[in-house]
Amino acid sequence: MIKQIKTNHLGILFLFVLVAFVGCNQEKTKEGKPMETNVLLKEWTGPYGGVPAFDKMKVEDVKSAMIRGMELNLEEIEAIANNEEAPNFKNTIEEMERSGEALDRGFTYYGIFSGNMSTPEFRAVQRELAPLFSEFRSKITQNEKLFLRVKALYDSSKVHPHEDDQQRVLELVYKSFEMNGAELDSVKKKRYAAINKELSGIYTKFSNNVLHDEENYITYLTSDQLGGLSEGFIKSAAKIATDNGQEGKYAITNTRSSMDPFLTYSTERDIRKDVWTNYYSRGDNGDEYDNNKLISDVLKLRRERVELLGYQNYAEWRLQDRMAKTPENAMELMEAVWPAAIGRVAEEVTDMQAVADKNGDKITIEPWDYRYYAEKVRKVKYDLDSDEVKQYLQLDKLTDAMHYVAGRLFNYKFTPVPEGTVPVFQEDVKVWEVTDMDSGENIGLWYLDPYARQGKRSGAWANTYRSHSTFDGKKNVLASNNSNFIKPAPGEALLVSWDDATTFFHEFGHALHYFSSNVRYPTLNGGVRDYTEFQSQLLERWLSTDEVINEFLVHNKTGEPMPQELVSKIKKASTFNQGFSTTEYLASAIMDMKFHLADPANIDVDKFERETLAELKMPKELPMRHRTPHFGHVFSGEGYATAYYGYMWADVLTADASEAFSEAPDGFYDKEVAEKLVKYLFAPRNSMDPADAYRMFRGRDAKIEALMRDRGFPVTTK
């Protein structure tokens, strides 16, 4: 998942991040210009083109920093809008691209507080700032003079187009204004701004409610309730319990990284049910942290807002600049895959029930049984033990493997930065310098924050602290990957599942997308949501290449490489449990779309979820990957709203592109295909239409049949 924490040329931010206004003292530079004294706004100094002062950031500085940053940004915007010279690309678009640098720096720290280091004190600031930031954003999107300058340039470019990348920036800027109400009359603009202000507060509350339930629903085990759990997991659970004041017990936290292995291996069925219920009830406990009413409010406000712009529903408005273009196209893809997915679930459940019956367990498969019995089926059908596989998946070795792949495909070298050279916000964060193998040129820095902790949101994501651009002097990239692995006990290796290793590679794919950028303008570092997941999903495929397996997947005790017999079992079982993984994902994606296509006037969120799943014939043995009350992708901001389908859209591209590598003479390390990969699929970012970029790589459009083959589903030809 991408988590963007930077502003763009308009000062429009992904709604993970919210801000407001306060005053701040200033000093003067030797040139007489104001110099910001708030550490969160100061220009970055030190090596590598300057780095964030993460060791100096404090919650108490956030409010004043964000206010001053926005004041500066608005001053820059006003200067552009009121320029008496006729608008041209240089004095309007390039100045917009240049604006907001201090605010960008502030948001780097804000994003860390929001995603990695949240505290009750920060959440209080966040709630206070959310609506005020919405006002700031509206002051830019509804700046009539600024929009008229952009529109004049856009209209003239139809006759006299600019250079390709400049034209792309101009079109993206214009479209952003248009989609955000720049052409509304004054009455509608006022209501549009008010809706955004109200939504910003709801998004913050939704996110904090989920975080509350993740932090407060912890299941504690006693020593006689540890059946089936691995030694490493038990040690980690003991440490977490001790850290929470429960010495002698074992903690199962309410996060996927703790829940998933527990449900897979624990022999305690009643406790599996409790852990499952806690996890899938986040935001849905009928208390002050319940999110159902908030979701209803979000749906109503989103519909009202797009109706002001003349659209029938939110999905129609949102998808117009995505690869899918329309909700109908997105639904067509999902509906094409859905029958095969639930059909496979039925087969998987039959296999699991047979194992349970043979064991004399006298149970009917329920959702809290699925992972447990799927693992038993895996052993029966493929003689594959996931815990045995984990012994060869050490996080540090996987990190080395990712760096190896980056070297082979991108010509990048990752060198650990000596501790203390670059400030970090938490002691577990490690930093690497990224350089070109041939020239030694610095590409940027890669930060890794691997472990779960109090105040860190769940899941895994990538973000940028500074993006590449060249129009105003080259800027190297500062990017990070963030995970929620349970920190091992001292002296123990961190062993992860194959799925977690895949996710680790996935998020690294986002980082490589940042590092490989060759764009001139910051706006072009953005992305089309149903395309930007493609590059990261594609990188997952290198985990199972022979080169990675043979060199980096070694046993944590003996150091011996993974035996070929086990490798063969893993590859043979590559389509195992695809019913579960595809269905739980697709259910969430379809639900996202159907919520935004439905009339929200009197919507009962819980009832709508139940009835929609019934209509889909959702298998009762598994839930959606993200139940609606904790579906942060969609309801804590707008980055993935009506766009969660994008993972499936990207999966089609991924499967098709993978076949290009598998057909090449040297497979996944084929030099010619790798060069095309970087040139057309990574480096351009959003400087060209994604569909055109893919055709340049593949010579044609992607085909859904590749996805069906990849998942072991029946392939039907029309």
SS3 letters across 356-403:
HHHCCCCCCCCHHHHHHHHHHHHHHHHCCCHHHHHCCCEHHHHHHHHH
Q: Is the pLDDT of residue 519 over 80?
A: yes
- Give the model's pLDDT for residue 336: 96
Task: Report the pLDDT averaged over residues 46-61.
Answer: 96
- Give the model's pLDDT for residue 565: 94
Which one, of 517, 463, 477, lies nearest residue 5 by Cα? 463
- Tracing tokens 């929200």 back to the chain, one arrives at 600
> What phi and psi, each to the nearest 5 degrees, are found at residue 347?
-65, -40
- Give the model's pLDDT for residue 134: 86
Tokens of 689: 């239409």
Query: Which neighbouring-strand residues pair with 252?
Result: 219
Task: Report the pLDDT averaged over residues 513-537.
Answer: 93
Q: Which residues contact 347 (CB under 8 A, 6 or more apart)?
A: 579
Express each pLDDT in 189-244 by its tens digit: 999 999 999 999 999 999 999 999 999 999 999 999 999 999 989 999 999 999 99
Spatial separation of the C-alpha atoms in residues 374 and 62, rounded to whole Å: 47
Task: Report the pLDDT averaged over residues 72-97.
Answer: 97
Q: DSSP letter string over 454-496?
A: TTPPSS-EEEEEE--B-TTS-B-EEEEEEEEEPPPPTT---B-
Q: Which of 22-36, 62-76, 533-547, 653-667 shows the lowest per-residue confidence on average (mean pLDDT)?
A: 22-36
- In terms of phi and psi (left: phi > 0; alpha: psi -120 to 50; beta: otherwise), the region of 245 is left
Spatial separation of the C-alpha atoms in residues 337 and 708, rounded to whole Å: 8
- Give the model's pLDDT for residue 527: 80
The radius of gyration of the chain's CA atoms, rounded to the nearest angstrom, is 25
- Give the model's pLDDT for residue 529: 82
* CB-based contact 458:477 (threshold 8 Å): no
Domain residue extents for the chain: 26-141+143-180, 217-280, 327-390+576-710
Whether 327-390+576-710 and 26-141+143-180 are alike in CATH topology: the answer is yes
Rounded to whole angstroms, what are the CA distances from 346 to 26, 318, 365, 372? 66, 34, 11, 16
Task: Report the pLDDT averaged over residues 500-504.
Answer: 96
Q: How many residues does the chain have?
A: 718
* CB-based contact 269:363 (threshold 8 Å): yes
pTM metric for this prediction: 0.87
| Sheet order of strands, 412-416 included | 412-416, 430-436, 442-451, 477-485, 461-466
Classify residue 598 by its DSSP letter: S
Express each pLDDT in 423-482 by its tens digit: 999 999 999 999 999 999 999 999 999 999 999 988 899 999 999 999 999 999 999 999
Classify residue 615 by its DSSP letter: H
The pLDDT confidence band at residue 37, using thresholds 50, 70 and 90, is confident
Which one, of 465, 475, 416, 418, lies nearest residue 442 by Cα? 475
CATH class of 26-141+143-180: mainly alpha
Express each pLDDT in 111-141 by its tens digit: 999 999 999 999 999 989 888 888 999 899 9
> What phi and psi, each to the nearest 5 degrees, are found at residue 430?
-115, 155
Which one, of 513, 571, 511, lies nearest residue 541 by Cα? 571
Spatial separation of the C-alpha atoms in residues 429 and 694, rounded to whole Å: 35
Q: Is the dihedral of CA 690, 694, 696, 699 positive or negative?
A: negative
> What phi and psi, each to the nearest 5 degrees, are found at residue 513?
-65, -40
Burial class of residue 235 (count of CB atoms within 10 Å of its CB; 0-12, 13-18, 19+): middle
Spatial separation of the C-alpha atoms in residues 678 and 62, rounded to whole Å: 38
Spatial separation of the C-alpha atoms in residues 177 and 161, rounded to whole Å: 19
- Give the model's pLDDT for residue 717: 57
Express each pLDDT in 317-365 by its tens digit: 999 989 999 999 999 999 999 999 999 999 999 999 999 999 999 999 9
Burial class of residue 307 (count of CB atoms within 10 Å of its CB; 0-12, 13-18, 19+): middle
Q: Which residues of 480-497 are buried (b: 16+ CB within 10 A; e: fewer)?
A: bbbbbbbbbeeeebbbbb
- Give the model's pLDDT for residue 10: 42
Spatial separation of the C-alpha atoms in residues 339 and 334, rounded to whole Å: 9
* CB-based contact 410:516 (threshold 8 Å): yes
Which one, of 673, 682, 689, lies nearest residue 517 by Cα? 682
- Tracing tokens 């094409």 back to the chain, one arrives at 336
Burial class of residue 599 (count of CB atoms within 10 Å of its CB; 0-12, 13-18, 19+): exposed
- Give the model's pLDDT for residue 35: 59
Task: Report the pLDDT averaged over residues 89-107.
Answer: 97
> What phi and psi, each to the nearest 5 degrees, are found at residue 131?
-65, -30
Q: Which amino acid is present at 171?
A: E
- The correct CATH number of 327-390+576-710 out of 1.10.3720.10, 3.40.50.970, 3.30.9.40, 1.10.1370.10 is 1.10.1370.10
